[in-house]
Chain A
């Protein structure tokens, strides 16, 4: 599903350049649930941004579902993001003047899906995350866990190839974190490919595979026995 070869990325900071990713080789099969771990500054967020086409790469190649991702202009990148990727952010990033359903329907709107179909799909995904009754609520009327579930529903709505979650539990307490992870695991059970960036070992252990980054290189890449989050809920 994802294939990265010899990925390099550096940031220019005045006259110095900061070499963040120093040759990453990494691939993900369909249906995997991968945790990307590392301390801050290890390059995990940069890796996720490149995977999410929010940032370009300096060197190496990136193939997503057989499509080489290169020479992206913004329009093309937006189009690929919409088609291939779903994002879940640490700070939820819901649009605060739109209600839950409208937020979920947003990626579909960019796919030019009709209004009625959009609403039906949005409701379906809200139901999947258990928030159907909250469809008409604004983000400000939802708890943190609920917001993240809406965000996950939104990420799923466009039926992406890969779900990218950047510290999805970072702003949540542990109980809520486990609820969210439970949801992510269930979505994974349905066959969706998911990448989770986290620095919390217990969250990482709820994935099927852990990739450890340190100083811009992968130091460890192992399959783990998945801990079901539902055990804690």
Chain B
């Protein structure tokens, strides 16, 4: 099957009409090229969007209080209320399958700067949090440490600040740890800085937030046991979307909110959003394959057509060869191999050009800097292997009809055509 003569013959036949061979090959190469480019573009979009989720605990919902819209248990509608710290334990007891429940507070935005360090000032968001918050946000500790339960229990006045704040308020090589910041009139000691895991940032507020132990925050800023909002993450393997209803009903009961009051408690289900994006990726991949394969099919039909014409032209030759005793299977094999060879070679060229284009786009992206929602378009080796498999199969299909029609002609009829 891999004899030198067979390959010599394949090359002879395909090179005998070079222009036609190249034109045919172009169809298949183009199809594969489109397939590769589409898949790479989809992957680029996926990478870009995924990066925005990078490090975020996606199986998370956020829940905050609004005003009630229904009277309940003697309480009027239009009532403002707060979650209490006790609700956290209540939720933990009533709703199993939760990994992290983070009660959170935040300083109300002020008119002017709220943070002072010596002569430098700045306006930053300030949060009261439990240590688990770092598992829910895409942060890592760059310097020093995050606060821990000792800080919580002893209500230590310590803060973790973003690296952006360090850049704003400190000299370049100045030691940050152990310095004091005055936040809304209260002094805190910096014990650590954090950075974001994603690198496409550089936005106005990125790495410019301040985290204070929850208990310290409550005491320093007079929040009693009020909770501004909660970030709740489900345990791995579970889905927060399925638990959100139970959580909300639990807090409604404890806050004396009418069970049917739809607007008293606001929430945002990050997991549902994330899943929607995930299914979008799936759809993108499907569309890329669908369109790519359709384009490829038209190329394959081209190959099949050309093979039919080649067979027609070679009817007599095939007749001669059969008269000389070549068996039909050998002829069929020859034609199939020509067809597969043509599709694979042209497909390879398509893959190479596709890869080069991707390479070009990547180096262009490197030069112009990151683009929103598009990152590192690429195709995996698996996709290339699948493409090759498609090529072999399609080469077989393209050659199948012509090969059959070639051996259907009886040698005597083939020889008669003068």
Contacts and interface: CB of A to CB of B under 8 A. Distances in A.
Interface string A105-147: 0110111000100000000000000000000000000000000
A64 to B, nearest CB: 14
B323 A87 contact: yes
B322 interface: yes
Interface string B320-331: 111111111110
Pick the most buried of B4, B5, B324, B329: most chain A CB atoms within 10 A of its CB.
B324
Contacts of B16: 97
B412 to A, nearest CB: 4
A52 B410 CA distance: 13
Interface stretch (A78-86, A199-207, A210-218, A222-230): A78-86
A29 to B, nearest CB: 24
Contact of B5 (A54, A83, A97, A109): A109
Interface in B392-415: 407, 410-412, 415
B415 A54 contact: yes
Given A54-B410, A54-B415, A55-B412, A115 B4 contact: yes
Interface stretch (A12-20, A88-96, A186-194): A88-96
A74 B328 contact: yes
B372 interface: no
A171 to B, nearest CB: 10
A25 interface: no
A154 interface: yes
Contacts of A156: none
B415 A154 contact: no
A91 B5 contact: no
A49 interface: yes
Contact of B329 (A55, A75, A89, A95): A75
B320 A74 contact: no
Nearest to A107: B324
B189 to A, nearest CB: 87
A7 interface: no
B43 interface: no
Contacts of A37: none
Pick the most buried of B13, B328, B410, B411: most chain A CB atoms within 10 A of its CB.
B411
A158 interface: yes
Given A55-B412, A74-B407, A115-B5, A110 B330 contact: yes
Contact of B327 (A91, A97, A110, A154): A110
B12 interface: yes
Contacts of B13: 97
A78 B4 contact: no
Interface string A28-59: 00000000000000000000010010110000
B208 interface: no
Interface in B59-73: none
Contact of A97 (B12, B322, B323): B12
Interface residues of B, number: 25
B104 interface: no
Interface string A65-85: 000000000110011111101
Dominant SS among interface residues on chain B: helix
Given A93-B320, A97-B16, A107 B325 contact: yes
A83 B412 contact: no
Nearest to A76: B327
B316 interface: yes
A98 B273 CA distance: 67
A81 B410 contact: no
A49 B412 contact: yes
Pick the most buried of A52, A82, A94, A109: most chain B CB atoms within 10 A of its CB.
A109
A98 B143 CA distance: 77
B317 interface: yes
A97 B16 CA distance: 9
B338 to A, nearest CB: 14
A80 B407 CA distance: 17
Contacts of A83: 325
B242 interface: no
A89 B5 CA distance: 25
Contacts of B412: 49, 54-55
Contacts of B326: 78, 82, 110
Nearest to A97: B12
Contact of A78 (B316, B317, B325): B325
A95 B415 contact: no
A95 B317 contact: yes
Contacts of A49: 412
A207 to B, nearest CB: 22
B260 interface: no
A74 B412 CA distance: 12
B418 interface: yes
Interface of B: 4-5, 12-13, 16, 316-317, 319-330, 407, 410-412, 415, 418
Interface of A: 49, 52, 54-55, 74-75, 78-83, 85, 87, 89, 91, 93-95, 97, 106-107, 109-111, 115, 154, 158
13 contacts: A54-B323, A54-B411, A75-B328, A78-B322, A78-B327, A85-B325, A89-B415, A93-B323, A109-B5, A110-B325, A110-B327, A110-B330, A158-B325
Q: Which 7 A-B pairs have the closest CB atoms?
A: A82-B325, A54-B412, A78-B327, A81-B325, A93-B320, A110-B326, A107-B324
